[in-house]
Structures are given as structure tokens and as C-alpha cells.
Structure 1
Amino acid sequence: MEHEVAYRFKATQSRPVKRRRVLPGGLQTSWATRKRAYDELWPAQRNRIQTALDHVNHETVDGVSHFAFQAQDVRRSGKVPVALVITGSSITSWTSFLGSLSDRLTSSRANLVVSLRSGESPNLKTLLRVLIAKASAGGDSGNEDETLLHHNTGRLLNYDLQLLEDLLRERATENVVIAFEESETFDGALLSDTINLISSWVDRIPFMIIFSVATTLENLQHRISRGSLRHTEGRTFSIAPASEVLELALDIAVRGDSIPLWVGCSVSNMIMARQKDYFQCTDLLIDSLQYAYMSHFYANPLSIFLLEDLQYAAVPRDHFEALRNLGSFRRHVESILEIENGADVVRALLESDERLFQYARDGVSRARALVKGLVAAVHLLHTLRSHVPRLDHITLSSLYIRGLAGELNLSPPVRELLLSIKMVPSNVLPRLLEEVLRHSSNNSDLALVELQQRLKTLTSCRTAPLRSHHDTHGETIRTTIVAQKVELSKQKSRISEDDSAYSEIVDQFHDYLERHFMRTFLRPENIFMHEIVIYDLKSPHRDVFMPRPRFAIERALSLPHDYLDCSCCHPTAGGSNLENTLSASQPATSILYQLYMESGPLINVADLWLAFDAVVGGTNNQEAAVMTQFQRALAELRYLGMIRPSRRKADHVTKVSWKGL
């Protein structure tokens, strides 16, 4: 076969069909129903999040698009139109923005958007070549791989802008938008030469430049020559930081009337901490939420109770036994026994599946209502803190995590807000009342509406803001000398009738908020059926989104039975001693790895072969097959980076890694 270019292998027998369990039993009998629930609930949730993210930079996209459509006026003056987009430190914001802008501009074939990176444009000639190649790839003509392209007047090099001019004339292109991604990574001289060259072609090719600025505009201006800056005329735009986009995505994912499942405090904390420690990306956040939904519906049989149209006949009997073993169900039953006639209710729930079904459906509905109220209260707390002056900013995600952990009731953020509300002037309180009414489940709350009307009547004829008696501006310091000692005391000045009436309104609003937070900031683990509406298992997320490949490889090689689950690889297969883990039935790479772990930093290959042959064994006729296994296992260890050839001795290999280090 050495003389043949390729060899086609034809199997003599067909591959056996993989056996599948056709009739699942036990708790897995509801798999089809849970799969249907996931297919119905998660796509709707993902569409809600994606729709909100598409409108994050809507104003910036509109501004840049409008600037591009009016760029012809700038080009008539002989200058290059430049859009300076301040992106911040995260490149993910720029990627989503550029995608939305490209969709907006390229909806008409009169616009062409080309994105350039510093890695593919080290010099001006290469930059022009990449620019022309990408512009040609957007149409039907042109070949990116040719070094010389034919032209009707002669032969042109593939970095000649005359090629681009001819191409755009055929397509009737009105704008050629060149987007420099991460402009700080481009060489300043290259940017200056590019601007100078583009300015000389701007009367023939409708160029427009977009710079993504991660630092400051002054830094970009210092890197470009003054002569090049004279050829440009630009406008500044800004896009939403990645941190704000992540907060918005999490808010959309947990707040709303149609939220079927909430992510618990442990998983949410791990997701947001990973975003802060590594990189901020909305796609990774959406993937994490999707994996939470998959883990809940695929692994939790009781997730079928999240279906709105679930019928009693569709629930297997084993699921009712699982319901009765829930921790929240047991605590709820114990609380029922303390009330009158509670024993009859408990007996019915333990003996009748049909009664338990309806009771569980009602419990899930109440649990969803309570968690929904908790999340709404968290959002209200965050909104009110943003409207009250002199309060530290706390992110919505951190408040949400603390809320689902049951740590917000009488917590410092709540106490600070309630104390600050007592001292807010009358020009701030109306906004707080409007926010509370907007977040209230019953927008016609009579108590709040009455307070709003009283405040409006009280402040209608006043220009100066009213202050409550809790405000420190109404206090004076009184100094008294007694027995040659100075005593300082605070004394409140007398307040007017309007201030007194305003103080009464403030006190009533304070008491209303305090009762509202006390009622809504519950501990989720005390909610009946919280295991169905809240997913809070960290281990699946940690294994998937923070994998440990080295640990997994070392465990697979040292304990192959844990992965293969076969009797031949069991530690006792090689003998009666439990410590004897070497066996000829184990994979060759696993055997060689265990011998490798017992060796020193410099390993003699001949000694390693003798030890391997002693474990694997075999007759003289099988020595060639055993040598083949040994060589393949040695090559695999080298591929994994565990050994390398020794420079000191040709027949030795160097040990590179140690287990657990």
C-alpha cells in the first residue's frame, strides 16, 4: 500500500445496531413528557432573552446607520467619514453590535461591510489584499486565491484598489464600510497609511471607516499622525457595556409572568462569578441557562408538573412516591398536622394519588407565585436604590443571588433603603411612589394611590421641596457648659404644618415598603414544592462549564474500571489483593501509565518494556502483538504530554508530569 495515494476500506460485515432501551421503567417512564415540556418552555424563554438583547444597542445601530447613509456629504468635501464606537474592555459587545449593524446595512445590496483584524493585516499591502478578498467574497465575481487578477485594461495586482472600484461599479455599491476590530491592536503607522490611501480614493470608492475604541479617543488620536487626521471627519458613538448586557439578560431570564423555572442562588452565583473572572459573554450566559433547563427537565422526573396541560393519567405512579419523599413535602405535612383536622388531610395525601396530584399542582402554582413575587421585590429594591441619592450601587444579579439565598430580609441593602426613604425630600418621593405602583401586582393599590394623591395635593402650590422630621437638615447643635465641661446635644427645630403632613406620608410609605419586603423576601427552601420550580445543583454546571480534563485523563488511565464498568478491569481481576490494580485485561495505555507512575524522572524504555511484558504476558508467538501494544501505548503517553525523549540518553524517556500536580 506504500505506492498508493489512498486506500478504501470495505467492511465485510455491517456494523451492529446499537441496542436501545425501548420501554424505560421507573421514574424514566415520563421521559417523553419531560422532553416535550423542555421543547415547549425553553425556546420561548430563549426568544425572550434574544429579543431583548437585539434591542440593547438599537439606538447606536440607528445612529451609525444614519451616519453611513449621510456619509456622501462628508466625502464630497474630500474627507473620509469615520465612526468612533466606544466599546469598553469587552469585545463581545462589539461583536454583537457589528452583527446588528451588518444586518441593518447589508439588507440593501448598496452597502458592503468588511471587518478587519490586526492578525490578518500586518502591513498595508496585506490589509488591502484582505479588504479586496472579503469584498469579492460578498458577490459572485472574484477569486480570493489568485495573486494576479485580470482587468479589462491589463493585469492588476490583488492589492490594487482599482479592482475594488470595478467590482463596486458592477454592484452599484453606495457605501463600503471598513470596521477595524480592536483598533488599539493595529500599528499606528499602518492606520495612518490606510487613511491616507483611502482619502485619495474616496472620490471614486465610497469608503467609510469604523474604529472600535476600547480605551480612550485621545489614545487613538495620538497613534495616528496629524496629517492623516486632517483627512477624516467623524462622530462618536457608544455601546452598552458587557456588564450591563449581562445584567439585562439575567433580568429577562428570571423576571416575567411566563417564567417556568428559576435558577437557584448557587448556580447563579457560579455563572456570574465565571463571567467576572474570565470573560463576559451573553452567549455563554444563555448556554448556561439552557443547560440548567436541560439538567432540570432531563434529570428531575417531577419537572413534568411544570406543564400547564398536565393530566392525572399522564403521571406514572412512581412519581407520586417521589413527591411524597420531597423534603418540602415532609415539612409541609408536619405543619399540616399541627392544625385542626390536619391528620385527615395528611392521610388523604399519603393514600390517594389523585388527591396528591391536584394538591401538587396547586402547590406548584403557589410556589411559582411566591418566587415570582420574590424576584419582583428584588427588582423593586434595585430600582428604588437607584432613585435614592447617596446610596451605593449594587448590581441586580448580586441582589437576585442574595434573594434566592434568603438573605435579603432585614439585610443591610434593605435597611439602608428604608432609612434613606425617611429622609428623602418631596421632589424624590413621587418617583419612588410611581416605581412601587408600577411594580405592584395590583396597580390600583388604594393605599399607594391615596398617598400619591395626598402628596400631589400637598406639593402642588410649593416651589421648595418639603422635608420630613427625620431629615438631619432640621437638626441644630446646642452647646452647654456645665462645671467647666462642654456638652453637645442635638435639637430638632420646629417644622411647618406642610412638613408635618409630608412626614406622615413618608412614614406611611416607609411602613408599606417594610411590610412588603417582609412578606416577599422569603427563604426559598421553606416554600412548598420549591424543588420543582427552582434548579440549584452546582455539580453538573461545574463539570460542564469548568471541566478538569487532566484530572479526568489521569483517573481514566489509573482506574479504567470507573469509565469502562467491566469486570475485566476491576481492581480484583488481577488477583486477590485489592492493591493489585494491574491486570492483563486492562487497556495497554492504562497498564503502561501505572508502570510510568512508579518510575523515576528518567525512565529506561527497555525496563519499561520488560515490566509491561511481565504484566501482559503471552507466548513467544504473541510477542510481536504485545510489542505493538507497548509501542502504541508509549506513543499515546507521548501524545498526552506525559513523556518526551531524553537528550541525555537515547534509550530513555523523561517523565514530564506527575499525578495530582
Structure 2
Amino acid sequence: MKEETERLQEHLNEKIFDNLISFIKTSHTQVNSEVNDWSYRMRCSEIPTAALVLGVNVPDHEMTVQGLSELLKQSLTPHVVCLQSKECTTVKQVLQKILMNLTGGSGNDEEEDVHYSVEFHQSKMNCSMASLCRWYNTITKKSTSKSPSKKRKSSLQHEEVLPIVIIFKDLESFLPKVLQDFIIIASNYIQHLPLVLVFGIATSPITIHRMLPQSVSSLLCIELFQSLSCTDHLATVIDKLVLTTEFPFKLSGKVLQVLNNIFLYHDFSAKNFVKGFQLSLLEHFYSQPLSLLCCALNETNARVQNLTHDDCELIRQLPSFMGYVDDQDSEKQVELLTNDQYLKTVVQTLLTTLHIYHKNYFPVLKCLHIFTSSLPKYPLGKQIRELYITCLESNIWENEEYSSAFQLLRMMARDELVCLLQECIEVLQSSEHTSLTLSVQTLEDFLAKFQKLDEVPKEDVEEGQECKARSQKSLQKKTDLYQLQKTLMEMKELKRSKKPSKFEVLRMDVLEFMDKLVRKYLVPPETQPLHELVYFKAASALRRHLNAAPRAGLQIALSNPYYYLKNEALKSEGGTITNVAPDICIIYKLHLECGRLINLYDWLQAFATVVRAAEGKDRDKINNGQVDGVLHARFIRAVSDLEFLGFIKPTKLKTDHVARLTWGGF
């Protein structure tokens, strides 16, 4: 799954990366001609800049930028620098970061790289664009001196240079003043350095003009590049990882809904969706002992034969298998419950049936999505993941949305219906199962009948024209309101009793056939025996891992450390303070007994009393109030940790007090 995700990421970014490389490659290429656009831009001191709109899915940006950086180093230039806003709060830090990355290794001469790297670190305070220019000139002279003939040829016809690409990963987070000053400095060296800027933008290209005044933005020659939207990225990920029989592991409707909600309401990150999918897989194989049978179909026979008696008993306890046993006759029930070898044979058959079920399920699901995704108001959802979640949770044909969708389909025009049929035929042809092959043949027959509808008999045309003319003539007569109402009612009855056209009959036949396919193949997975082996259903466990509540988790850990540490000595009754608990837990429990302001001296004395009681110290020393340096340091560290976690803060009301920021506890 990880390899498939990486290949998918490369494929999705392939087009935009090719366009970026083409832009960077031609940005500093000089052609010997009278009209040279780049020479004109050079005279204007414009820096070629690629505005790369990555979208609001910020967690995915790192992977995209890293892939772009590696591709540039492999195919175009080794001089690539990636900058982050948190590391570049001043222009000096920006220049230091650029020089450190570039002089650390150019790929031409290791001794020269080491020399420049040492020189840079020795004169870190004097880093500037002039230093970068000297370094680049030295590197360029060394590379051209190795091939003089090539140099003469390129100087006459087509001179290629290795550009210096500077990528600003998160443009919105950079300080506008820092960005402005760097661009102004870089524009003064653009005739000596082939600089190319890449702006990673999460929101909108207008951000550039909001951060930079016109005098600075005029120094940039900006070209816009739009990456694939995060929803399209997720749809492709779901199609390759979830809606496929290549991987036997599947998600239940509730688990998929949890991952979908996290994507829609938190981060829009397809990368985090894949991580949640991987976490579900790990949880399934960790919590389900029979998950060893969640494998490819060609491996199931060997694994089933190696099942032990205990494994067979676990299979017999599965709810879906118990339902399967109840449907069998008495003789088979006895064999299934007592004979392990017979059970293994049945399990192998059921796993094959489950595989065939998925082989038919996903093509029919995609066909239903093709028919319903273009309907007004999207009664069954616009994205296939929404339709898939609905189909997993219940019988889709029992929903009101399903009925309303087919009512809209009954009004669909012929051209639209023909296009949908062609798409469905292409999807169903991908399945190798015999039953769907017959369905493809039926849809092809429907398509051929639609194409023959152009040949309308003359009798039908004349009859239709005659009825239309008779209706118009009756309406044109002068009459009163009663006669008009009577005429309209007669026309309505005539229209209701009118014989449906051949297209309408054929359209109804197509929709009835699609409804039969849905009812036959899109039954929920709970109806399949042994579905527990491949479907992960623990949505609560996944929600607990991915939708964490930090404050609640902190308070549970501090008030009940046994919940996490599992140390028997930490067990205590509700409300009591365990004297062997960690220092921060004791401090937390003591601070719950205080009001809005906490006296630090009293807090220290209470802490010392609890700790010394745990260590078995002399009670007389406790009463004297003597606190040694080690105990005092432990108290200060625990209070500092509690302040860092946001439970207390210093206050100016009283110098020897701290203010409590929370109220109550778990």
C-alpha cells in the first residue's frame, strides 16, 4: 500500500512538475536572436518566479516540495534550496540558509566544496549575495574549463546555465519585510546569478500582491502553476487503495466515515488519510487473531490448512459464521461445529465467495455513481466515497435518496443516457466475472437499441402531429371558462392515457436493469460470512487515536497515572493522593485542593509532606518544615511543567502566589 501511494503521488504531480522544470529550464536560457524576451526581462531586473498553488492541505506540502526538490536535483540543477519561515525570520538568516545549503555540496568538486563550506562557516557574519555570486562564478568557471569546445559552441548558439532554485515552502508564513528585502537584494544580482524563485502558496496567488508592494512585485516575472485539488487527490487514493480487490483489507462504513470527517473538517490532507488507513490496518491485524486469513486469494488455501483447533473455534464464534451455520441443515451444522477439516474446506469456499463478492461490488458501485453523480442536488452524493459509505451501512435501495435519484433518472435525455451507458460498459468490462460479462452484453444491446431509435416510423410521426394539431385547434376556439377547463382536463387525460414512446420504454428498461444490478451486488458486507476477517470496524479505537482530546488526556494522566503507566503501586481510590506517584501528579492533585490563587510556600510544604511520607522520613523533620535542596528542585521542576502545560501562571497580585487557570478535574 505504501508503494502504491508513492507511485500515485508521483503520477499526480508528474504534469505540474514537468511544467515547472520546463519553466525553470528556459528561464535563464539565452538564445542568440534579435528579439529575446528573457533579455528584456533581464534589463528590467525581473526574477523568474513560479507561484505554485498547493492548496489548503498543508500536511501534504512537505511531500510535494520534497519530490520537486529531488526531481530538480536529478534532472536539472544541483543548486536547490528549500526555505521555511520558522528558520528565516531575518534577511541575514535567509542568506545564511541559502549559502549553507549551496556551499555544502555542489556535486562538482569535493575539495572545492569543502573549501567553500569551511570558508562560509568561518565568515558566517559576512554572508551576502556577493559571496554567493563569487561562489557561483568559481563553480561555473571550473565546469566550463573542463569542456572548452562545448563552451564555444554554446556561447555562439545556445548557452545553458545551471539555475539556482530557491523554494519558499510556506510563503504566507514569511515576514513580508524579510521577503521584500530579499527580493530587492536578489534583483540587483539577477544579471550575475541565474536565480529562480518558487513560492509555495496555500491560499491564493493574490497573497503575493498582499505581501509585496507594487515596487517589489514588479521585480518578479511570475508564472502561475496550479496543483491538483485535495479532493481529487483523495478520490484517486480511495480508488487505488479502497475501491480495489488488489488489497484484501477493507474498512467498514463507520471507520471510513471517521477518516472522511477528519479529512473534511480538519486538514484536507490525503497523506493523513493514508496514515489513518494504515493505522486501521495495524489495529485490525493486532486485535483480530484470525486476520492471518486477510491475504491474497492464492495464499488462503495454505493458511487455512495450517489453522489450529483454537483457530477453528474462533471461526465458529464469529457472528457472521454463526448465522451461516444456522441457515444450513442439521447434518452440515454438526459437521461445521465438530469436524475441523470440513470446516477448513467450507472456510476456503467462503473466502473465495467473499473475493468474488468484492470483484462484483466495486464495478457496480462505480456504475451507480456514474448514473447519480451528475443529478441535481446529488441525492446520493457527489463523490463516490459518500455513496460507498451509504452502501456499506445499509441497503441502498431502501433509502429515500435512492428513490428520488431514480425519479430524476426517469427524466434524463437520450444523449446523456447514452453517454452514461458507454461509461458503465467500460467500467464493467474491467471485471472478469461471468455474471458481469453478461451484464455488459445486456448494456451493449441497450446501446444498440438507442442508436436505432433514429429510424422513427412515419405512422408514429403523423399520429403525433395530428394529435398536436387537434389540441391546438380546440384551444383556439372561443369558449367560456367552463369549456376551457373541460378542454384542458380532456387534454390531460389524453396525455395520461397516451402510449409511451419507444425511447421512454427503453429508458425504463435500462433503469430497471440497473436497479436489479444494485439489489443483486450492492448488498452490505455484513451479509457475507467471514466478513470480520477483512473488514475493520473499531471506529471508536480509530477516533481515539486520531481525534485526541489533549486537555482530557492530560488531566486523566495527572489525576490517575495508573491509566497509562500500569504500575500496581499507583492504584488509588478516587480523590486520594498516592505518595509514590510522579512529582507532577502529586503537584497536580495538591493544586486541585486550592482556590484561584495558590501560595507557593504552602504548596511546597504539602508536597514535601507527601513525598517524605512515601520515603519513610522522620516525621519530626517534616513538622520542622525543613526542605532540602533536592526536594526543592523537584518541586520547582514539577511546578514549571504544570505551568508549561497551561494549568497555572504567575500573577502580579501576590509575589509568592500563582494563579490557577483551570477549574475542576477528572
TM-score bin (small chain): 0.7 to 0.9
Aligned residue pairs: how many? Answer: 591
Q: 2: CA distance between counterparts of 1:208 and 1:319? A: 62
Whether the aligned pair in 1 keeps the contact of 2:238 and 2:385 (CA below 8 Å) is: yes
CA change 1:618–1:531 in 2 (3 A) is same
1:247 maps to what in 2?
Answer: 235
Q: 2: CA distance between counterparts of 1:224 and 1:563? A: 50
Q: In the alignment, which of 38, 42, 58 is matched to residue 75 of structure 1?
A: 38
Q: 2: CA distance between counterparts of 1:229 and 1:318? A: 72
Deviations 1:427-454 (A, max 9, x none): 2223211221122233563211211222
Q: In the alignment, which of 436, 441, 447 is matched to residue 442 of structure 2?
A: 447
- Kindly state the Cα deviation for residue 47 of structure 1 after the two structures are TM-superposed: 1.6
Whether the aligned pair in 1 keeps the contact of 2:648 and 2:660 (CA below 8 Å) is: yes
Q: 2: CA distance between counterparts of 1:289 and 1:346? A: 37
Q: In the alignment, which of 314, 325, 330 is matched to residue 322 of structure 1?
A: 314
Q: In the alignment, which of 124, 133, 136 is matched to residue 103 of structure 2?
A: 136
Whether the aligned pair in 1 keeps the contact of 2:304 and 2:348 (CA below 8 Å) is: no
Q: 1: CA distance between counterparts of 2:207 and 2:564? A: 55
2:352 counterpart of 1:365: yes
2:268 maps to what in 1?
Answer: 280
1:113 maps to what in 2?
Answer: 80
- Kindly state the Cα deviation for residue 306 of structure 1 after the two structures are TM-superposed: 1.9
Tell me which moved more, 303-312 or 263-272: 303-312
Q: 1: CA distance between counterparts of 2:138 and 2:544? A: 51
Q: 2: CA distance between counterparts of 1:227 and 1:649? A: 53
Q: Which amino acid aligns with 2:665?
A: G
Q: Which amino acid aligns with 2:4?
A: R
Give the secondary-structure state (helix, strand or coil) at the position aligned to 1:204. Answer: coil
Q: 1: CA distance between counterparts of 2:632 and 2:72? A: 61
Whether the aligned pair in 2 keeps the contact of 1:111 and 1:177 (CA below 8 Å) is: no
Q: In the alignment, which of 306, 325, 332 is matched to residue 333 of structure 1?
A: 325
2:136 counterpart of 1:165: yes
Whether the aligned pair in 2 keeps the contact of 1:117 and 1:182 (CA below 8 Å) is: yes
1:39 maps to what in 2?
Answer: none
Give the secondary-structure state (helix, strand or coil) at the position aligned to 1:202. Answer: coil
Q: 1: CA distance between counterparts of 2:232 and 2:363? A: 19
CA change 1:529–1:481 in 2 (3 A) is farther
Q: 2: CA distance between counterparts of 1:201 and 1:599? A: 64
- Kindly state the Cα deviation for residue 295 of structure 1 after the two structures are TM-superposed: 0.8
1:14 maps to what in 2?
Answer: none
Q: 2: CA distance between counterparts of 1:481 and 1:193? A: 85
Q: 2: CA distance between counterparts of 1:498 and 1:484? A: 26
- Kindly state the Cα deviation for residue 349 of structure 1 after the two structures are TM-superposed: 0.5
CA change 1:46–1:398 in 2 (3 A) is same
Give the secondary-structure state (helix, strand or coil) at the position aligned to 2:129. Answer: coil
CA change 1:91–1:639 in 2 (3 A) is closer
Give the secondary-structure state (helix, strand or coil) at the position aligned to 2:199. Answer: strand
Whether the aligned pair in 1 keeps the contact of 2:58 and 2:267 (CA below 8 Å) is: no
Q: Which amino acid aligns with 1:52?
A: L
- Kindly state the Cα deviation for residue 346 of structure 1 after the two structures are TM-superposed: 0.7
Give the secondary-structure state (helix, strand or coil) at the position aligned to 1:178. Answer: strand
Give the secondary-structure state (helix, strand or coil) at the position aligned to 1:205. Answer: coil
Q: 2: CA distance between counterparts of 1:220 and 1:649? A: 48
Q: Which amino acid aligns with 1:636?
A: A
Q: Which amino acid aligns with 2:324?
A: H
Q: 1: CA distance between counterparts of 2:56 and 2:568? A: 54
Give the secondary-structure state (helix, strand or coil) at the position aligned to 2:51. Answer: strand
1:598 maps to what in 2?
Answer: 593
Q: In the alignment, which of 407, 411, 414 is matched to residue 402 of structure 2?
A: 414
Q: 2: CA distance between counterparts of 1:122 and 1:604? A: 40
- Kindly state the Cα deviation for residue 569 of structure 1 after the two structures are TM-superposed: 3.9
Q: 2: CA distance between counterparts of 1:214 and 1:355? A: 59
Q: 2: CA distance between counterparts of 1:499 and 1:596? A: 81
Q: 2: CA distance between counterparts of 1:189 and 1:569? A: 54
Q: Which amino acid aligns with 2:335?
A: A
Q: 2: CA distance between counterparts of 1:312 and 1:145? A: 66
Give the secondary-structure state (helix, strand or coil) at the position aligned to 2:519. Answer: helix
- Kindly state the Cα deviation for residue 537 of structure 1 after the two structures are TM-superposed: 0.3
Q: Which amino acid aligns with 1:289?
A: F
Deviations 1:427-484 (A, max 9, x none): 222321122112223356321121122223445999xxx9xx9xxxxxx999896549
TM-score w.r.t. the length of structure 1 is 0.77
CA change 1:611–1:253 in 2 (3 A) is closer
Tell me which moved more, 192-201 or 247-256: 192-201
CA change 1:601–1:176 in 2 (3 A) is same
Q: 2: CA distance between counterparts of 1:580 and 1:95? A: 46
Give the secondary-structure state (helix, strand or coil) at the position aligned to 2:257. Answer: helix
Q: In the alignment, which of 331, 336, 339 is matched to residue 349 of structure 1?
A: 336
CA change 1:207–1:214 in 2 (3 A) is same
Q: Which amino acid aligns with 1:619?
A: D
Deviations 1:195-231 (A, max 9, x none): 5554543333222233344444456357655565665
TM-score w.r.t. the length of structure 2 is 0.76
- Kindly state the Cα deviation for residue 345 of structure 1 after the two structures are TM-superposed: 0.8
Q: Which amino acid aligns with 1:77?
A: Y
Give the secondary-structure state (helix, strand or coil) at the position aligned to 1:82. Answer: strand
Q: 2: CA distance between counterparts of 1:395 and 1:372? A: 21
Q: Which amino acid aligns with 2:502?
A: A
- Kindly state the Cα deviation for residue 567 of structure 1 after the two structures are TM-superposed: 4.8
Whether the aligned pair in 1 keeps the contact of 2:100 and 2:117 (CA below 8 Å) is: yes
Tell me which moved more, 226-235 or 420-429: 226-235
Q: Which structure 2 residues correspond to residues 251-650 of structure 1 after superposition, within 5 A?
A: 251-307=239-295, 308-309=299-300, 310-312=302-304, 314-336=306-328, 342-386=329-373, 391=378, 394-406=382-394, 408-440=396-428, 441=431, 442-443=436-437, 445-459=440-454, 483=482, 491=492, 500-565=501-566, 567-571=568-572, 581-582=576-577, 584=579, 590-604=585-599, 607-608=602-603, 609=605, 613=609, 616=614, 618-619=617-618, 632=634, 635-641=637-643, 642-643=647-648, 647=652
Deviations 1:159-206 (A, max 9, x none): 324235325514675222233334445566765665555454333322
CA change 1:554–1:391 in 2 (3 A) is closer
Unaligned runs of 5+ in 2: 31-36, 145-160, 465-470
- Kindly state the Cα deviation for residue 547 of structure 1 after the two structures are TM-superposed: 2.7
- Kindly state the Cα deviation for residue 513 of structure 1 after the two structures are TM-superposed: 0.8
Give the secondary-structure state (helix, strand or coil) at the position aligned to 2:415. Answer: coil
- Kindly state the Cα deviation for residue 579 of structure 1 after the two structures are TM-superposed: 6.3
Whether the aligned pair in 1 keeps the contact of 2:601 and 2:656 (CA below 8 Å) is: yes
Whether the aligned pair in 2 keeps the contact of 1:93 and 1:242 (CA below 8 Å) is: no
Q: Which amino acid aligns with 1:285?
A: F
Unaligned runs of 5+ in 1: 1-44, 337-341, 470-475, 572-577
Q: 2: CA distance between counterparts of 1:498 and 1:427? A: 22
Q: 2: CA distance between counterparts of 1:167 and 1:584? A: 68
Q: 1: CA distance between counterparts of 2:393 and 2:360? A: 15
Give the secondary-structure state (helix, strand or coil) at the position aligned to 2:423. Answer: helix
Q: Which amino acid aligns with 1:454?
A: K
Q: 2: CA distance between counterparts of 1:256 and 1:236? A: 35
Q: Which amino acid aligns with 1:547?
A: A
Q: Which amino acid aligns with 1:294?
A: L
Deviations 1:256-281 (A, max 9, x none): 22121111122211112112222122
- Kindly state the Cα deviation for residue 252 of structure 1 after the two structures are TM-superposed: 1.6
2:32 counterpart of 1:62: no
CA change 1:498–1:176 in 2 (3 A) is farther
Q: 2: CA distance between counterparts of 1:389 and 1:653? A: 60
Whether the aligned pair in 1 keeps the contact of 2:48 and 2:197 (CA below 8 Å) is: yes
Q: Which amino acid aligns with 2:98?
A: L
Whether the aligned pair in 2 keeps the contact of 1:175 and 1:206 (CA below 8 Å) is: yes
